[in-house]
A and B are shown apart, each in its own frame.
Chain A
Amino acid sequence: MSENKTGAYICQGCGLGERLDTSQLVTIATRDGKANVAKEHEFLCSAEGVKMIQDDIDNEGVNKVVIAACSRRAKTDAFRFDDVAMSRANLREGVIWVRPDTDEARETTQEMADDYVRMACAEVKHMKLPESSGEQSLNRHLMVVGGGISGLTSAIEAAKAGYKVDLVEKSGELGGQVGKLYKSVPRKNGLQGYVDSEIGELIEAVNANDNITIHLNTTVAGTEGAPGRFKAELATESGSTSSIEIGAIVQATGFRRYDINQLDNLGGGKSPDVVDQMGFEELAKAANGGTIKRPSDGKEVSNVVFVQCAGQRSNEPGHLNYCSGHCCTTSIKQAMYVRDAGGDATVLFDDLRTPGATGEDFYRAGQEKGVAFSKGKCTSVDTSGDLKVNFKDLILDEDATANADMVVLATGMVPASGPNPYLQLELDEAKNQEGQEEKVVKLEAELAKAPDSILNLSYRQGTDVPHLKNGFTDSHFICFPYETRRTGIYTAGPVRRPMDTSQAIEDATGATMKAIQACENAAQGRAAHPRSGDLSFPSFRKEGCTQCKRCTVECPFGAIDEDEKGYPQYNEARCRRCGTCMGACPVRVISFENYSVETVGQQLKNVDIPDEFDEKPRILVLACENDAYPALDMAGMNREEISPWARIIPVRCLGSVNTIWITDALNSGYDGVMLMGCQKGDNYQCHFVKGSEMAHYRMSKIDDTLKTLNLEKERVQTYEVSIADIQRIPKLINDMDKMIVDEIGMSPFKF
């Protein structure tokens, strides 16, 4: 791009022409915004209006476009121009729809529009056209770790899509836990009762598929690279190693059985006749349709009690605090085994839940077969003589006892994830600090209990996929299914969250599709979720870098490694483009082509700051583009009134907010600064996991800056907002306005 030529296009449609002096906006764009071309149009998003812009791009050499019309979230299809940088001034949702149409308000409304045009012109001037780095080419090859139902499904689905698959299984055979089941819960028509497992056919299909290479007795000794260019070292039990190159990874490592010895009050570990569900499956498989024989004395069992929620859905120490989702259905299935062999079976439940399309019918089928269901809470299992299950009947509100030949405890799923990658990092950090001995001991103890690494990633931020809750490797249960916090590595099945067989099959299919998408995106240099398709990626000015490592530590996705000298390596394909690194950088050397310290910094500096005595304060609002900015747009649609002093700049994530913007804003005479991001903490809603949290943490340190400037700390506020806060966000802004006018007064920094 040799010569920059900016074109500013101002729309008069949707009432803009009546409410604003658009010819003045044209003057502003040319005079203040230094636009080479500035035009008005009565209906900019019409074919005619778009053609006017396109003609200028084609004939006049315009390569930077300012659209002063509606929100950047509206009319995106109309205003899509190839190979030009574009900035949108939000005059509709952001100005005329949030201001009253009165004569008194006309002046301030016009001032708002003037500023947004200045800001858009300033932004586009510093934007470059993003291009793919070309760091990786298309590698249509996946590695699937785990040969259970999820891994097998993933492998076969990828192979069907024409991808090559390396299937890595630690044990000597495929099938995993599902392979150990006697019968399955049907995926269709629950009323038919249990059915034969489909796992045998699936294993055959995988074995027969030419696209799939199976590695048994193999673990992953090391993984490095990024989506599109991962390299994995596979180590077999016999000691031989091999290396594969893959585009993306699906981790389907399933679950571990909860240790029933921890449930000694329920007889776990005290009697061989008290087993968990997997233990009962083994017995059922051995009996193969005949009467199940109990382990202690080989007696044929005629009376089995199933205790639901054993050691789960409980906050007692050592228990799992979640529901594993499949256990009620599994117990019904196993109770049917007993009934079909002529015995009695009682399911002792508190809340019976049979999720899935077939669940409810399967429950009915169990009742039809005469499985007894008692709503009660098991208090203890007496193993001293014949087994006795003591329980509180929750309907009749009385204590009761049931005799049993065998007791089956429905224990929960423990995710077979790798160690929490951040533990080691925390330990290293604690060791380097004084007075952290206690923490070191605690972390070392925790690490000693941690499982072996599964992927052995050579990432700066640890060896495995981070955990979300309770060791499950999810990213966000609701908003981003399948995503993890490591781009290009997808987890599927019970390692991601507790689930049954049919859910695992569905989950594996979804994860495989995401993995394929990751390969294809990486080849084109495009970002994955949530900034899907974004070509920009962070780069840094090496001369300015102090190797402080804040970007490599704070990246929520562990995308950034360090080279041997401690300089960051960005790994474009691992990056989600949130800009948290840019917000972290104390020397401000990190930038994206179309989003940088300058693009935002210049916007806020180009706002016209009136004299202190004009009594027109200025409030800078940095709003997260994922939730806060759409909520503001919706506030406009609902005609919620917003203070005329607010100037709103969307940011990719609150994590990308560099404190220099706050300092600059205060130095330029803004009276207040508001940061609006998503909910942080354990139940975070931040699209980039930690961005909002990082921003809140950084802003908690801004008080020193305010003190040196001799400013009140109320002038800078950080908020957690949600997309539904359509009334609340305007109120927050208006409250800030009120506080400035009524309480703390104007900033003294207006020049």
Chain B
Amino acid sequence: MSNLNQAMIEKYRSSFLNEVEANVEEGHWVKMCMQCGVCSGSCPLGPHWEHPPQELFMMIRANEREAVLKSDSMWMCTSCYNCIARCPRGLPITHIMHGLATYAKRLNLVPKKQPTAEFGQMFWDSLSKNGRVNELKIGVGLYFKDGFAQGVKNAMAGRELGMAMMKTQRMNAMEYFGGHKCKDTSGIQKMLKKAQEFEDQQITRFDGKEG
């Protein structure tokens, strides 16, 4: 996929804004930003972002492609929709953030160990395998994502909650071994496969090889 990145660089050499407009979900809105900064001021996680939305938009216009796509800022969005509710220009900022994250993922530019990205991947793997999400597996996976020792520490810290949930039958340890699936797993998988084909077509279109 990294050659897709190279292809995009060459295709939109002059303007990252045009690239975003063409390839990122809701990306055509970026040019409408008037730099008031209300989004950045409204974001509850704003102080933890390296580049708040207003700045990301300015960076897009300033052709700072690498810095935007390799940034972990848009991965910090929790979809609280404060920015969308408040943007005086009506930009769908939350959607643009997710669009940028998705695009960075496609181009394989996501920062290593980005927790949101890792969680997303786990969620997706679980979902696409069984047609539904196995919460226990995801939970354990997250506990142990930073290594075995850290995983044990995490598990010990959460053991009381875990025991309580088992007691009240909110969690079943046996789920870890297989777990239950949706009725028609293969049907779901077929649907996902078809969707993936459409996506791939999109990407080849991005590649400039097909129309």
Contacts and interface: CB of A to CB of B under 8 A. Distances in A.
A356 interface: no
Interface string A342-372: 0000000000100000000001100110101
Contacts of B59: 396
B17 A367 contact: no
A395 B31 contact: no
Given A374-B62, A393-B62, A396-B62, A367 B55 contact: no
Main secondary structure of the interface of B (DSSP, over half): helix
Nearest to B64: A396
Contacts of A375: 35, 58
A313 B35 CA distance: 20
A364 B32 contact: yes
B34 A395 contact: no
Contacts of A393: 58, 62
Contacts of B61: 372-374
Contact of A395 (B17, B32, B55, B89): B55
Contacts, number: 33
Contacts of A363: 34
B108 interface: no
Interface residues of A, number: 14
B54 interface: yes
B31 A367 contact: yes
Interface in A264-319: none
Q: How large is the interface on B (under 10, 10 to 19, 20 to 34, 35 or more residues)?
A: 10 to 19
Given A395-B58, A396-B59, A372 B32 contact: no
A229 to B, nearest CB: 54
Main secondary structure of the interface of A (DSSP, over half): mixed
Contacts of A396: 55, 58-59, 62, 64
A352 B17 contact: no
B51 to A, nearest CB: 9
Contact of A373 (B34, B54, B55, B64): B34
B34 A352 contact: yes
A370 B58 CA distance: 14
Contacts of A370: 31
Nearest to B17: A372
A400 interface: yes
A364 B29 CA distance: 11
A367 B32 CA distance: 6
A442 B61 CA distance: 51
Interface of B: 17, 31-32, 34-35, 54-55, 58-59, 61-62, 64, 89
Interface of A: 352, 363-364, 367-368, 370, 372-375, 393, 395-396, 400
16 contacts: A367-B32, A368-B32, A370-B31, A373-B34, A373-B35, A374-B61, A374-B62, A375-B35, A375-B58, A393-B58, A393-B62, A395-B54, A395-B58, A396-B62, A396-B64, A400-B62
Given A395-B35, A395-B58, 15 more contacts: A352-B34, A367-B32, A368-B31, A372-B17, A372-B31, A372-B61, A373-B34, A373-B35, A374-B62, A375-B35, A393-B58, A393-B62, A395-B54, A395-B55, A396-B64
